[in-house]
Structure 1
Amino acid sequence: MTPPEPSIWMIGDLQGCYQPLRELLSHPDIRADPNARFWFAGDLVNRGPNSLATLKTVMALGDRAVSVLGNHDLHVLAVAAGVRKPGKSDTIDDILGAPDAQEMIDWLRHCPLAHYEQRHLLVHAGVLPKWTTEKTLELAGEVEQALRGPDWKARLAKMYGNEPTQWNDNFRGSKRLRVIINAMTRMRMCDKNGHMEFTFKGAPINNGQLMPWFDVPKRAATQDTIVFGHWSTLGLMLRPDVICLDSGCVWGRQLTAMRLQDHKIVQIPCDQYQEPKDH
């Protein structure tokens, strides 16, 4: 008899919250399947109290885990590369100062920007309205190739900035990669034409001009379910076309996991952990 397929648990932003992660992985519903696999929605590290242990725990899962890159994960790479300075609220010194820091940096820069399986597309922040699933994976591959190459530090240095705010197939070089990274790791709101708006960080609104990226009219990637994090003020959201798993663990709320096969939810309360200073 063919053994059942392993469960896949999709997990929201960790941001260095090691204790909730440990409790989540020990939950009876998750431990029930010893072959369970894990999808992490990015932002494994930073702002929480123990980025090092959190990252090492995910790495130790080996082939059972996949994590897409989030904006905080990219920030670690940028600080390690010397192209960005640490922020006041960063909690990544334990990673950068570790004896095996280079191994962890190399592991992070080999993480995918997007992952697709069983009609679910995993990204950290979102997918531009013009992009199909196939286009998203193709463009993610361009960034992944740049980050995994020998000149990754120089390439990463040119990937930061808010412009352009929209996609054009004719973009080349750093401008092209910047739009891809911004969409998949930073985007929350867009205007009605699908142009990204980066200053808005609150709970979503839709006033006909500004709206969540997933509510832009005529969005292309509607045949699959897009799974993302990044938006703690949106919180846990379950729709047929989109699932948000960032339930604000680092802000003292919950760490959320959802089983892909049946959308069963497991949550770990995080109110006993100290909140970081700001967003």
Structure 2
Amino acid sequence: MPTYAIGDVQGCYDDLRRLLDAIRYDPSTDILWSAGDIVNRGQQSLEVLRFFYDLKHQAVVVLGNHELHLLTVAYAFPERMRPGDTLTPILNAPDREELLTWLRHCPFLHHDHYLGFTLVHAGFPPQWDLLQACRCASELEDELRGQDYPLLLRHIYGDSPREWREDLTGWDRLRFISNCFTRIRYCTPNGELSMKNKGKPRLDHIYAANEERPWFMLPQRASQKLQIIFGHWSTLGFYADAKNGIYGMDSGCLWGGELTAMRLEDKQVFQVKCQRKRAPHKHS
């Protein structure tokens, strides 16, 4: 019963099916892990959402920023719909509420002790070990699954606070947690989130003492002993650093790159070249 982790699909259903054919996917036995951002920008978001929904317990989907955006447009701020969004078929679908309720109950973090992997959409702040990350994920999941979830969606956006403190409370605490799981890419050397930089990191670069760097390259991060699978960073591309337990799965399918899967049992990587769906401009 192999388990495959898949990078950001973003509504590219045909490419997803070609990748599943390449790995000889068997829905009766195989498990799929999605690093989030299964919807939006590609033209087949509804098909992708229904595909993962129908898999039930044969799939794990962690929430990404585009899933939160979909839920926000649906339940809190319809005016947040952007010109490049492809969410209207989901919002108008007859099974809309069934699909969106399922999405609200997806996790922000998934850890499999047996396989030894942790799955998130974006990353960890340097202050969190696995226990802290699981606690924070549970806090945010409880709010999104509760009756007052529209209120959460109205307050979850923003770039502050930038630094984790255990005494954070209220919307500041939940916003920070959400930004880590769904938006983080870079941090400052002292561990603050740097939310504006989305560019390609210099992985072979020796960073200056005051220079921001990818969240997984901070030497003091408390999650160093984990094997972390994440998406979200198309300019990074597929990135495997087995020594440090870091696996970036977003290989830019939406922008004409590849869609990537990794079999967790032996770390074998599978890729299909994707059709260019959009001209590259902003990678988020």
Q: Secondary structure at the match of 2:158?
A: coil
CA distance in 1, matches of 2:97, 2:276: 29
Measured after TM superposition, the shift of residue 250 of structure 1 is 0.4
Measured after TM superposition, the shift of residue 116 of structure 1 is 0.2
Measured after TM superposition, the shift of residue 248 of structure 1 is 0.3
Question: Which position in structure 2 is the counterpart of 1:197?
Answer: 194
CA distance in 2, matches of 1:98, 1:189: 37
**1:111 and 2:106 correspond:** yes
In the alignment, which of 252, 261, 266 is matched to residue 248 of structure 1?
A: 252
Which one-letter code corresponds to 1:63 in the other structure? Answer: H
Where do residues 62-81 of structure 1 align in structure 2 (5 Å cutoff)? 62-81=56-75
Give the 3 Å change call, closer, same or farther, for CA 51–136 of structure 1 in structure 2: same
Where do residues 129-168 of structure 1 align in structure 2 (5 Å cutoff)? 129-168=126-165
- Contact 1:11–1:41 (Cα < 8 Å) also in 2: yes
CA distance in 2, matches of 1:223, 1:152: 34
CA distance in 1, matches of 2:87, 2:111: 29
Question: Which position in structure 2 is the counterpart of 1:83?
Answer: 77
Question: Which position in structure 2 is the counterpart of 1:19?
Answer: 14
Runs of 4+ in 1 over 3 A off after TM superposition: none
CA distance in 2, matches of 1:30, 1:254: 17
**1:185 and 2:189 correspond:** no
Q: Deviations over 1:230-275 (max 9, x none)?
A: 00000111112210000000001100000011111111110x2421
Q: Secondary structure at the match of 2:228?
A: strand
Which one-letter code corresponds to 1:140 in the other structure? Answer: A
Question: Which position in structure 2 is the counterpart of 1:60?
Answer: 54
- Contact 2:6–2:32 (Cα < 8 Å) also in 1: yes
CA distance in 2, matches of 1:138, 1:31: 33
TM (norm. structure 1) is 0.94
Q: Deviations over 1:170-228 (max 9, x none)?
A: 01111100000001100000110111111111101453311000011211011110110
Which one-letter code corresponds to 2:214 in the other structure? Answer: P
TM (norm. structure 2) is 0.93
Structure 2: unaligned runs, 5 residues or longer: none
Q: Deviations over 1:153-179 (max 9, x none)?
A: 012211111000110000111110000
Question: Which position in structure 2 is the counterpart of 1:50?
Answer: 44
RMSD: 1.4
**1:227 and 2:229 correspond:** yes
CA distance in 1, matches of 2:220, 2:129: 11
- Contact 1:16–1:51 (Cα < 8 Å) also in 2: yes
- Contact 1:89–1:278 (Cα < 8 Å) also in 2: no
CA distance in 2, matches of 1:185, 1:155: 15
Structure 1: unaligned runs, 5 residues or longer: 1-5
Measured after TM superposition, the shift of residue 276 of structure 1 is 5.2
Identity %: 42
CA distance in 1, matches of 2:27, 2:104: 29
